[in-house]
């Protein structure tokens, strides 16, 4: 995400004509980030729309045009967290209804069996604290460097390194408890 600084400056100054080319330049990156966070195209589209809506409303408050990519990632991640919380609540309600009716989808069971290891890893990542989970996703799903993660999450580089190290340690422990023992290199391959 490296948009033209001139477009950011113009948009900050209230030039609405600069918004369309600016957002067109970054929309693919934002959508891919949200899709990897939410794992659902419709939710990612909704979150992207909300991200850009908030960016339009707030761009005047952006102090450093060079910080635009990290600023936009922060907005997108917040929209993803909001949608995830809502989806989790809806999923729990659906699971409770299915449990009460005594049915579980045969298709869901077959899918879970096919993707057991990947599912365990994703579940373990989902169970991490938000800061650790975000660092893992930005690093492995989006290929961001430690410096880019630090900028996007507004955290020092040392904190990013600690978060990734701590996430690896916790993921290994959680997976080992389920009978899956992975070295860091194997864990990283599963995360990519």
At residue 113, the pLDDT reads 47
At residue 102, the pLDDT reads 56
Interval 159-188 mean pLDDT: 83
At residue 114, the pLDDT reads 46
Q: What is the pTM of this model?
A: 0.57
Same domain, 90 and 110: no
Domain range enclosing 160:
105-192
Q: pLDDT category, 115, cuts 50, 70, 90?
A: low
Last residue of a domain, one of 68, 103, 138: 103
What does the chain come to in residues?
192
Same domain, 85 and 115: no
Same domain, 110 and 124: yes
Burial of residue 1 (number of CB atoms within 10 Å: 0-12, 13-18, 19+): middle
- Structure token digits, residue 178: 């389920």
Same domain, 162 and 111: yes
Give me the percent of the chain exceeding a pLDDT of 70: 82
Last residue of a domain, one of 79, 103, 127: 103
């Amino acid at each position: 995400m490296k948009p033209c600084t001139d477009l950011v400056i113009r948009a900050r100054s209230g030039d609405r004509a600069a918004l369309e080319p600016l957002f067109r330049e970054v929309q693919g990156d934002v959508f891919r980030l949200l899709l990897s966070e939410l794992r659902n195209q419709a939710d990612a589209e909704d979150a992207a729309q909300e991200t850009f809506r908030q960016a339009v409303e707030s761009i005047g408050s952006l102090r450093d045009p060079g910080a635009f990519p990290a600023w936009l990632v922060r907005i997108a991640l917040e929209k993803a967290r909001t949608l995830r919380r809502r989806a989790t609540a809806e999923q729990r309600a659906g699971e409770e209804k299915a449990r009460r009716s005594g049915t579980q989808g045969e298709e869901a069971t077959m899918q879970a069996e096919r993707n057991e290891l990947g599912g365990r890893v994703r579940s373990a990542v989902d169970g991490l604290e938000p800061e650790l989970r975000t660092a893992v996703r930005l690093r492995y799903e989006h290929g961001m460097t430690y410096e880019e993660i630090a900028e996007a999450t507004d955290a020092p580089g040392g904190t990013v390194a600690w978060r990734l190290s701590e996430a690896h340690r916790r993921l290994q422990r959680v997976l080992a408890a389920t009978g899956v023992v992975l070295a860091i290199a194997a864990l990283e391959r599963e995360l990519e």
